[in-house]
Amino acid sequence: MSRRRNPEVEIPELSRPITNPGLPQEGPVVEYFDDVADLGARRRFGGAMLGIPVIGWMAFFLAFPYVLLLLQSFWEVGLWSTLRIWNVQNYTAVLFGRSLAGNIYLPVMLRSIENGLMVTVLATFIGFPVAYLLAFKVRRHRMLVYTLVIVPLWASYLLRAYAWKVILGNHGLLGSVLDHIGLGNSSLSNILYSRTAIIITLTHIFTPFMILSIYSVLERVPASLISASKDLGVGRLGTFFKVVLPLSLPGVIAGATFTLGLAAGDFVAPLLVGGPGNLMIGNIIYSEFGATGDYPLGSAIAFILLVFVVVLVAISTLAESREQI
Amino acid sequence: MNALEARSSEISHSDSLGSLAVRLDGVTKSYDSVVALKGLSLDVAEGEFITLLGPSGCGKTTTLRLIGGFERPNAGAVYVAAKDVTNEPPYRRPVNTVFQQYALFPHLSIYKNIAYGLRHARVPKAEIQQRVGQKMELMEIADLGDRKPNQLSGGQQQRVALARALVMEPRVLLLDEPLGALDYKLRKAMQSELKRVHREVGVTFIYVTHDQEEAMTMSDRIVVMNKGRIEQLGGPEEIYDNPATPFVAGFVGDTNLVNGVARDCRAGRATVDLGVMGVVEGICREEIKAGDQVCVSVRPEDVSVTPMPGSPITVRDAMLVGSSIHLTMLADDTTVTALVPRGSAAMPGTPVAVNLVGPRVCVYTKVQE
């Protein structure tokens, strides 16, 4: 029964259909079943079966809505309903403005992305040192520090945004403290309902994600690499820039992708702490779907935002992989 | 007076550090409440291949890390190339390390890994190319320059780690169980490879291992360590043939440790009564008086076995080991092992007489429990 002696002869056998496995006890048909290659094929099939729920889930909840959104963005809004008339007028409206009103969408979108980038940069600069300390310096109280990082995530997003309203408000925490030290009338005491307030709030909300994302990568950097660098004559600073930082880049990029995407599209922070003059693109998308009922236009705006963010992320990922070579 | 004391007195009156690569002077290191090294002194000569051998937790890796600068001693001093480096960080010591898991930088190519230290030191580019190329040639990895560490086999990574350390032209190369992660065959090959490299570059090698066979085959001198102290320091043959303590005898090669009563000790040789196993004579390093409780170390190959009906010693087990047979015998409560040629051995259960004679029989005052 040794079947692996001559693989060239076996290959045609493999492609032969299993006609009746219950038949003769001798002969190649029965032997076919204990063939190693066949077992491998069956295993691969089993693996594919296991993947079906995941693929199904992704298809239904991710791919399908996106496709729907994309299709819808090429339609048109009628009086009471969406009309399936194919055109690109939504895109031209967003990118070049409508003839009468001028362009209201693009500046808001660019400002939102700018906000997102600012939040990302701030969260990186605050998050990196914390993640670094957590991974390399904090020994005894690591669990405590780690918990302090994630505790804010236990509170609802809205609650955290509201908290900033209390802190930054006219007679809020910051204002009272400033009053006490005699800076009551400085520009600092009136931050609420400004772009600064949006950025502070979003930075606070996304920094924990940044910390966790960078920490998870730094944690896996073996201490022996840092020892090796020092052993080869490179001091602390050099070791940081040549070993620790490059190895942490994937974590930084993952965190930045997350932060940029969510911060640029946020609509809660501008609503709560931004004031009427500082709407972000998320608010506009929200009102197209919620108030105006112009689904096609909302879809188009959402898609353009998506493309902007994806391009930015692609550029940074590409730059990172270029760095690695 | 044991070997350790003999060695340290020797150190104290050789005052010139000139030809020494490394000197450890009364180094003590403790972590929290655990003492890893207890007043260790050691001189390593220029160009030597010296091995720190011992069980895990004996302090051998700590010793290496102290020389490398990754740890600071609580007491004592570390000299490298006649310079006190006790408080110098690793990057200011003329010493390089080959780490246990190689510690290659995963984000850099093999070439950049090897050039890492030179580039930082701002060595001219042409010189870097020349030196890196030369070391890659030496380690026979010249064609791997563009690969990443994760594309290399364990043996290749090992070679890269060696090249990366050697390219810095250190006075001393520290190797921390460098072959531990390799399989048996590759390890054997790398052992002779390391010896070749040592011969060719002439740098002092300080090698850490727990594998006594590896230590035996590679080293000029071996430092046997136990519980933060040096048990014995000497050439491989000396350590095997004349172990200074029962611990060394047991750790380096197989041995029988049998308790007995001393009958006589004269001119470094003692006669010991071992009860049913008769009377043996062996080398003794310590002061022994007649009537002292002593311990005798006999290598299995120095035990000869002859069948003798009515003997209180019986064969319990016989195992084939290549061309010899490994016998386990029971004499009263003591287990004795012997390595005898095939065909001469008795079957399990037979009463036998044993004769412990050989140049490697050693007598110690410390009695084994």
| Shortest distance, CA B339 to any CA of chain A (angstroms) | 43
- b/e string for B150-188 if b means 16 or more Cβ within 10 A? eebebbbbbbbbbbbbbbbebbbbbbbbbbeebeeebbe
The answer to whether the CB atoms of B96 and A246 lie below 8 A apart is: no
CB-nearest to A247 from B99, B107, B120 is B107
Backbone angles phi, psi at A77, to 5 degrees: -95, 135
Residues B264 and B243 in one domain: no
Last residue of a domain, one of B225, B247, B269: B247
Work out the number of other CB atoms within 10 angstroms of the CB of residue A156. 9
| Same domain (yes/no): B228, B272 | no
Assess contact for B311 and B353: CB atoms under 8 A: yes
- What is the CATH classification number for the domain harbouring B338? 2.40.50.140
How many angstroms separate the CA atoms of A184 and A187, rounded?
A: 9
Cβ atoms of residues B34 and B28 within 8 Å: no
- Minimum-distance CB partner of B117 among A233, A324, A325: A233
Which residue has better confidence, B218 or A42?
B218
pLDDT-above-70 percentage for chain B: 94
Confidence (pLDDT) at A187: 64
Please indicate, yes or no, whether residues B83 and B218 belong to a single structural domain of this protein: yes
Question: In terms of domains, do B48 and B67 share one?
Answer: yes
Closest by Cβ to B70, choosing from A227, A233, A238:
A227
pLDDT bucket at B16, cuts 50 / 70 / 90: low
Contact B96 A232 (CB under 8 A): yes
Q: Which of A225, A231, A325 sits opposite B97 (nearest CB)?
A: A231
* Contact state of A238 with B120 under an 8 Å Cβ cutoff: yes
Q: How far is A258 from chain B (nearest CA, A)?
A: 24
Q: Read off the DSSP letter of residue A187.
A: G
Mean pLDDT rounded to a whole number for chain B: 88
Contact of B307 with B344, CB cutoff 8 Å: no
Among A5-19, A239-253, A265-279, B73-87, which is the least confidently predicted range? Answer: A5-19
A237 touches chain B (CB under 8 A): no
Q: For residues B164 and A224, give the distance between their C-alpha atoms in angstroms, rounded to a whole number.
A: 14
Instruction: Supply the pTM of this predicted model.
Output: 0.76
CATH number at residue B76: 3.40.50.300
Angstrom distance (rounded) from CA A294 to CA B363? 99
* Residue A202: closest CA among A116, A143, A140: A116
pLDDT category at B12 given cuts 50, 70, 90 is: very low
Q: Is the pLDDT of residue A183 over 80?
A: no
- State residue B99 phi and psi, 5-degree precision: -80, 160
Contact by Cβ (8 Å): B117, B168: yes
pLDDT at position A22 over 50: no
Question: Over pLDDT 70: what percentage of chain A?
Answer: 82
Let me know how long chain A is.
325
Answer yes or no: is B325 within a domain: yes
Q: Are A207 and A177 in contact (CB under 8 A)?
A: no
Residue B240 token pair = 């095997």
Contact A246 B107 (CB under 8 A): yes
Closest CA to B129 of B108, B111, B105: B111
pLDDT of res. B168: 94
Query: DSSP per residue over A63-130, as a string?
Result: IHHHHHHHHHTTSEE-SSSEE-----HHHHHHHH-BTTTB--HHHHHHHHHHHHHHHHHHHHHHHHHH
Who's near B368: CB < 8 A, 6+ residues apart? Answer: B246, B257, B259, B295
> What is the identity of the amino acid at B13?
H
* Cα B11 from chain centre: 20
CA–CA gap between residue B74 and residue B27 (Å, rounded): 7
For residue B284, what are the domain limits?
255-364
**DSSP symbol at A155:** S
Rounded (to 5) percent helix, strand, coil in chain A: 75, 0, 25
Whether residues B241 and B290 share a domain: the answer is no
Indicate the angle between helix axes A173-180 and A157-168, nearest 10 degrees. 30
What residue type is assigned to position B212 of the chain? Q
B45-99 confidence digits (pLDDT tens):
999 999 999 999 899 999 999 999 999 999 999 999 889 999 999 999 999 999 9
Q: Which of the pair, A226 or A185, is modelled with greater confidence?
A: A226
* Chain A residues within 8 A of B90 when measuring between CB atoms: 227, 230-231
Question: Which of A222, A231, A247 is the closest to B96 by Cβ?
Answer: A231
* pLDDT higher than 90, residue A95: no
Residue of B nearest to A236 (CA): B91
Domain boundary among B219, B247, B275: B247
Give the minimum alpha-carbon distance from A320 to chain B in angstroms, rounded to a whole number.
11
- Out of A113-127, B164-178, B331-345, least confident range: B331-345
- Inspect the interface and report whether the beta carbons of B91 and A232 lie closer than 8 Å: yes
Q: Are strands B20-31 and B75-80 parallel, antiparallel or unpaired?
A: antiparallel
Nearest to A324 among B91, B104, B107 (CB): B107
Please indicate if any CB of chain B lies within 8 Å of the CB of A243. Answer: yes
Whether B125 maps to a domain, the answer reads no
**Statement: residue A12 has pLDDT above 80:** no
Locate the chain B residue with the closest alpha carbon to A234.
B91
Alpha carbons B44 and B219: distance in angstroms, whole number? 12
Radius of gyration over alpha carbons of chain A, in Å? 29
Residue B198, both tokens: 């040592």
Largest CA distance in chain B: 82
Contact at 8 Å (CB) between B329 and B354?
A: yes
pLDDT for the residue B71: 92
Cα B346 to Cα B190: distance, rounded to the nearest angstrom: 40
- CB proximity A231 to B under 8 Å: yes
Instruction: Tell me how crowded residue A242 is: count the other CB atoms within 10 A of its CB.
Output: 20
| Longest alpha-carbon distance in chain A | 99
What residue segments make up the domains of chain A, in order of their start? 7-83, 97-324
Q: Is B96 on the interface with A (CB under 8 A)?
A: yes
Domain covering A97-324, topology: MetI-like fold (1.10.3720)
Res. B201: pLDDT tops 50: yes
DSSP per-residue string spanning A13-74: HHTS----TTS-SSSHHHHGGG-HHHHHHHHHHHHHHHHHHHHHHHIIIIIHHHHHHHHHTT
Whole-complex ipTM: 0.81
- Kindly identify which residue of chain A lies nearest to residue B167, measuring between CA atoms: A232
| Chain B CA closest to residue A247 | B107
Measured between beta carbons, the chain A residues lying within 8 angstroms of B107 are 246-247, 324
Number of domains in chain B: 2
Distance in angstroms (rounded) separating the CA atoms of residues A164 and A160: 7
The yes-or-no verdict on residue A27 having pLDDT over 90 is no
A39 pLDDT tier (thresholds 50, 70, 90): low
Are residues B260 and B220 located together in one domain of the fold?
no
Band (A43; pLDDT cuts 50, 70, 90) = low
Domain final residue pick, B197, B222, B247:
B247
Q: Residues near B136 by Cβ (< 8 Å), separated by ≥ 6?
A: B110, B111, B114, B142, B144, B145, B163
Residues A309, B277: Cα–Cα separation, whole Å: 86
Whether pLDDT at A26 is above 50? no
Residue B281 touches chain A, beta carbons under 8 Å = no
Indicate the helix (H) or strand (E) that contains B284: strand B279-284
- pLDDT exceeds cutoff 60 at A113: yes
Tokens of B200: 């060719």
**Listed range (A52-56, B219-223, B319-323) with the worst mean pLDDT:** B319-323
Q: Are B120 and B112 in contact (CB under 8 A)?
A: no
Contact B99 A324 (CB under 8 A): no
Q: How far is A246 from chain B (nearest CA, A)?
A: 7
From chain A residues 246-275, the ones with a CB under 8 A of any chain B CB are 246-247
Q: Is A199 exposed, middle or buried (0-12, 13-18, 19+ CB in 10 A)?
A: buried
B95: which chain A residues are within 8 Å (Cβ-Cβ)?
Answer: 231
Q: Note the pLDDT tens digit of each residue in B286-302.
A: 888 888 889 999 999 89
